[in-house]
Chains A and B, each alone.
Chain A
């Protein structure tokens, strides 16, 4: 199993994931422990997600080995448009290279998709490609029409990726991913997030050509993946 741990297939699997250490109560110690855990695993993840104030610390710890992600107006999307754009500028300045921009969900719930597209466009124009931005909707709270409307607005505003939920109990199911893939094909990257804890869940998302997944359980899921590979290779002997 140890041979498999750092095999190209396993490394590529782990590379899909964001690992989040987010929350009001998170301390420097929590961040250090979490980041060190990732480093000790030997995996190169898609990104490590932390609150903005911890970005300098994590940049220093990761030494360029992985991308640092920080969310904007997380998790409620409730901060003012001015504040969100200033946070985006701040992130570019401090070295964040990946962010989840939580949209104003009221606009989505009120079906004001023109405003959603406007918010996306403002971020895209300010960003000018400096940061990979995924636009966060709370898909769990939306019906199918609202999910499609929000994704269309993201696309209309120039966005390239949608993150489906923020966690905190709001999680993604494969049916939401399937819906977006069916309507938008590969024109929009889909990033499932929230309550993703098992390899079985990941398997479901991979059926829809998902390439980036947010999960705090990435290390456990990767262990599950290795166990599966190990069983398969053992079975072949």
Chain B
């Protein structure tokens, strides 16, 4: 699915839940946080949780017997590894039970123009190592200009990657926060060739809707509860 300005925005909690991935990629995640993540995803009707590689096996175990899928954020949040190392990391994630792979690209290498040695091999390697699982390439559009964004979208799509994720949402990063306007600009240049996703903190339901309106197909966020509460009020723990 690629960007379409005519795509309908969610108008119910259930519809919004379908375009959310529920993530916990924090530095201070405890086992209890992962348990709650899995539990709430199921209760809220969110299909996928996204976790760090070190938590992949646990997340898999916690979701056993449910329909919740486990996405693993490989090489997150810096991504500055050689492609062969990233491919092995994807293989690890698959072995640990990942249903989807979200891979942080080597942004610096791409900015250097190291496309043949880094960017293209890591894209192709991601798809190959994921063995048919959905793949999402995380970038940082805050440091990319339009032509670079367009090239990334086309190249990722050609490699068989399902979505280009516009930012890592890594909070302590010094990079500017990606706003709905930035998502729109990315969707304008790359949205016809590849699905555009958003990753990171979202202030509220209104901002989530703005991000979707701007052209994002999915939002991967720790803020899923807050986003859903905009439809019908507060959610109690575990309330659907």
Which A residues fall within an 8 A CB radius of B?
22-30, 51-54, 74-83, 86-87, 90, 104-106, 109-110, 138, 141, 168-170
Given A76-B77, A79-B53 in contact, is the A53-B82 Cβ separation under 8 Å? yes
The 4 closest A-B pairs by CB, nearest first: A78-B52, A168-B172, A51-B80, A169-B172
Question: Distance (Å) between the CB of A201 and the closest chain B CB?
Answer: 19
Question: Distance (Å) between the CB of A54 and the closest chain B CB?
Answer: 8
A-B contacts, 28 of them at CB < 8 A, read A23-B108, A23-B174, A24-B170, A27-B108, A28-B108, A30-B108, A52-B80, A53-B80, A53-B109, A74-B78, A75-B77, A76-B27, A76-B52, A77-B27, A78-B52, A78-B54, A80-B53, A80-B92, A80-B93, A80-B96, A83-B53, A83-B89, A90-B85, A105-B27, A106-B29, A168-B172, A168-B173, A170-B27
Residues 66-118 (chain B) with a chain A CB within 8 angstroms: 75-82, 85, 88-89, 92-93, 96, 104, 106-109, 111-112, 118
Separation of A86 and B85 alpha carbons in the complex (Å): 8
| Interface residue from B25, B78, B112 paired with A27 (Cβ < 8 Å) | B112
B89 pairs with A51, CB closer than 8 A:
no
Separation of A129 and B141 alpha carbons in the complex (Å): 40
In the complex, chain A residues whose CB is within 8 Å of the CB of B52: 76, 78-79
Separation of A106 and B139 alpha carbons in the complex (Å): 26
A53 pairs with B30, CB closer than 8 A:
no
In the complex, chain A residues whose CB is within 8 Å of the CB of B140: 24-25
B92 pairs with A25, CB closer than 8 A:
no
A78 pairs with B25, CB closer than 8 A:
yes
